[in-house]
Amino acid sequence: MFIESIEKSKKNLKISDKIKIFDTTLRDGEQSPGIALTVDEKIQIAKRLDNIGVNTIEIGFPAVSEGEKESARKITELEPKADLCGLARVVKSDLDALLDCDLSYVHTFIGSSQLHREYKLKMSKETVIEKAVEAVEYGKEHGLTVEFSAEDATRTDIDYLIELYKSVESAGADMINVPDTVGVLFPSATKILIERLKEEIKIPISVHCHNDFGLAVANSLAAIEAGANQSHLTINGIGERGGNASLEEFVISLIVAYGIKLNIDTKQLYNLSDYVSKVTGIKIPPNKPIVGGNAFAHESGIHVDGILKNAATYEPIAPELVGHSRKIALGKHTGASALKSKLNEYNISMDENQFCNVYDEIKALGDKGKTITDADLKAIAITVLGKS
């Protein structure tokens, strides 16, 4: 059977025993145009991320503003279980800003692709390596855990990328991160890249995938298949342009599709997603996997009939696993069993004739393009019962 052959092929993957979940909602997520979180909102999100059990929270970019420093300090004072990390360019003043907030983990970065070196940084390959090594050494001298990112890694010449990563590894970096800064990777290419880096680099490897072509989660999973130890993620996939890899999609795929154990309390995902959506103002599309309003909603008669007999017929996971709930929607696709179940839910009983009238009314409204809410159903039923 196909499913059995999938199970066998999973055994050939190079998945690491311990996969770390690095959340960057408060840093890359907040970099989405239009989002500016208050210190209090950042604290609330950090607390919730800590509660669901992520390994690392990137709390922001302390060098950019006083507000960033204040939230970094306040989140540090909470003494969460998760490691707290701050972003820094490979410049001492950025690392100092982070030390000033008592953070003990830095994510430091510099552009590595020719585009970034020549147009943005105006630096030679050698200078980029020099600056990266200096920053890593400075971080280590000050007792920091250092994760190093080669920004735009996926558009960087591979030999140079390896040279840069090897240099920071020798300088004492604890982890390298591979940012797909403009989301140009695709899953098979991601696997080749990570496998190649694994041959050359001994410290753990992380990935940071952007969603410009809608492939961020698929690429992050492909990286894990190739042996990456960590993925950077954001709640609801928020982030610059098309966003980052979505934490909820990545986590549920790993647990359910790959069968990997993670210490994440998935039951809190829906509430966390809802909270982040409210405070950022970024609405969740109804068809968003895992947390969207329609993720566990059913309207078609055939589907609802199946769901009522065994929910697994049309649901890959139970909504409760992510703290969501099932919704039976009414409309032109509604079947008799869905309608009966809705009427039962509201303790409305009627004879066969009345039932047919309600059913016809719902179909007629659905055909006019109307969405029929539970309140509409109750009103229709009362009218029909009143007439007889």
Binding of ligand KIV by 179 (CB under 6 A): yes
Among 28, 50, 248, 249, binds ligand KIV (CB under 6 A): 28
Return the number of the residue (28 or 147) whose C-beta is nearest Zn ion.
28
Task: Choose the one of ligand KIV, Zn ion, none that binds residue 149, judging by a C-beta under 5 to 8 angstroms depending on kind.
Answer: ligand KIV
Q: Residue 160, Cα to own-chain centre: how many angstroms?
A: 30
Binding of Zn ion by 58 (CB under 5 A): no
What is the sign of the dihedral through the CA atoms of 145, 255, 214 and 228?
positive
Site string for ligand KIV, 144-163 (x = CB under 6 A): -----x-x------------
| Cα–Cα dist 241/289, whole Å | 19
Binding of Zn ion by 41 (CB under 5 A): no
Binding of Zn ion by 23 (CB under 5 A): no
Return the number of the residue (63 or 338) whose C-beta is nearest Zn ion.
63
Residue 109 CB, nearest approach to ligand KIV (Å): 5
Binding of ligand KIV by 208 (CB under 6 A): yes
Task: Choose the one of Zn ion, ligand KIV, none that binds residue 191, judging by a C-beta under 5 to 8 angstroms depending on kind.
Answer: none
Task: Choose the one of ligand KIV, Zn ion, none that binds residue 151, judging by a C-beta under 5 to 8 angstroms depending on kind.
Answer: ligand KIV
Identify the three-state secondary structure at position 236.
Answer: helix
| Cα–Cα dist 274/290, whole Å | 12
Tell me the β-bridge partners of 57: 23, 84
In terms of C-beta density within 10 A (0-12 exposed, 13-18 middle, 19 or more buried), how is residue 2 classed?
exposed
Residue 240 CB, nearest approach to Zn ion (Å): 6
Among 108, 181, 220, 231, binds ligand KIV (CB under 6 A): 181
Task: Choose the one of ligand KIV, Zn ion, none that binds residue 42, judging by a C-beta under 5 to 8 angstroms depending on kind.
Answer: none
**Contact criterion met (CB below 8 Å) for 229 and 222:** no
| Cα–Cα dist 86/108, whole Å | 8
| Cα–Cα dist 318/311, whole Å | 8
Residue with tokens 């995902």: 269
Return the number of the residue (208 or 324) whose C-beta is nearest ligand KIV.
208
| Cα–Cα dist 168/198, whole Å | 15
Binding of ligand KIV by 58 (CB under 6 A): no
Return the number of the residue (28 or 30) whose C-beta is nearest ligand KIV.
28
| Cα–Cα dist 275/48, whole Å | 9
H helix intervals, 231-349: 247-252, 269-280, 301-309, 336-345
Binding of ligand KIV by 138 (CB under 6 A): no
Chain residues that interact with Zn ion, rule: CB under 5 A: 28
